[in-house]
Amino acid sequence: MLSENDQLSLYELNEKLFELEYTKEDFVQSPGDFSLRGNILDVFSYSNENPIRIQFDDDKIERIREFNIDTQYSINNLKKIKISTNINSDLLDKNESVINIINNDCIVVINSLELINEELKSLIHQMT
């Protein structure tokens, strides 16, 4: 979790983003991208609908803003953000199903009749 006024160097955050398998780009376009220009870091977290612009003053987070990817204009000022790892990457690396990491009391909604039918056919086939 990152918050305004946190003491953190831009270098440390840059390294952390590489560890989280983010890709450094000239401009952020999609989740997993980040861009660095001077004391401003743009990052498109997997957990956000829009990219985030983090403005630094030396080793202190001065400002956090959500921005529109097309216009580059700020949408909202934020007090804190979470930069998430790519859960799909983690699951692929471990060869693990998302079903194995959700809570037992979690309700899963599948919005695809075709997918449900295929899964039912597979289960019936396994039982016979």
CATH of the domain at 17: 3.30.2060.10
Structure tokens at 65: 């803003």
Residue 93 covered by a domain? no
Same-domain pairing of 103 and 71:
no
Which residues constitute the domain of residue 23? 2-87
Same-domain pairing of 113 and 60:
no
Residue 23 covered by a domain? yes
Residue 92 covered by a domain? no
Q: What angle do CA 128, 102, 18 make, to 5 degrees?
A: 120
> How many structural domains comprise the chain?
2
- For β-strands 80-81 and 2-3, DSSP reports them as antiparallel
In order along its 128 residues, the chain shows pLDDT tens digits of 899 999 999 989 999 999 998 999 999 999 999 999 999 999 999 888 999 999 999 999 999 999 999 999 999 999 999 898 876 555 455 555 656 666 677 777 777 888 888 888 888 888 88
